[in-house]
Amino acid sequence: MTKKLNRIKVVLVEKGVSQTELAEVIGKSFSTINAYCANRQQPSLEVLADIAKFLSVGIKDLITDEY
């Protein structure tokens, strides 16, 4: 079972933003964003900051506290 270390997918749904749109805005491929959303890969702090800025949320809102 994959540990869910980030909440990017949840926040995208809450904000009504597609993975494709996020990928275009922050300059990452769709497959990279999809890996983040599925928790197969974790973004760097710099990328988390870019995602948080675009979604108008705090970085903490993108990270789960369940570990």
Count of CB atoms within 10 A of residue 64's CB? 13
Listed by start position, the domains of the chain span 8-56
Question: Regarding the domain with residue range 8-56, which homologous superfamily does it belong to in the CATH classification?
Answer: lambda repressor-like DNA-binding domains (1.10.260.40)
Q: Which residue has the higher pLDDT, 2 or 65?
A: 65
What confidence tens digit (pLDDT) does each residue in 36-45 have?
999 999 999 9
**How confident is the model at residue 2, as a pLDDT?**
56
Query: Would you state the torsion angle of the CA atoms of residues 42, 47, 50, 55, taken in this order, to the nearest 10 degrees?
Result: -10
What confidence tens digit (pLDDT) does each residue in 3-58 have?
789 999 999 999 999 999 999 999 999 999 999 999 999 999 999 999 999 999 99
Phi, psi of 62 (to 5 degrees): -95, -5
**How confident is the model at residue 66, as a pLDDT?**
66
Which pair of tokens denotes residue 1?
A: 């079972």
Please list, residue by residue across 13-29, b when 16 or more beta carbons sit within 10 angstroms of its beta carbon and e when fewer do.
Answer: eeeeeebeebbeebebe
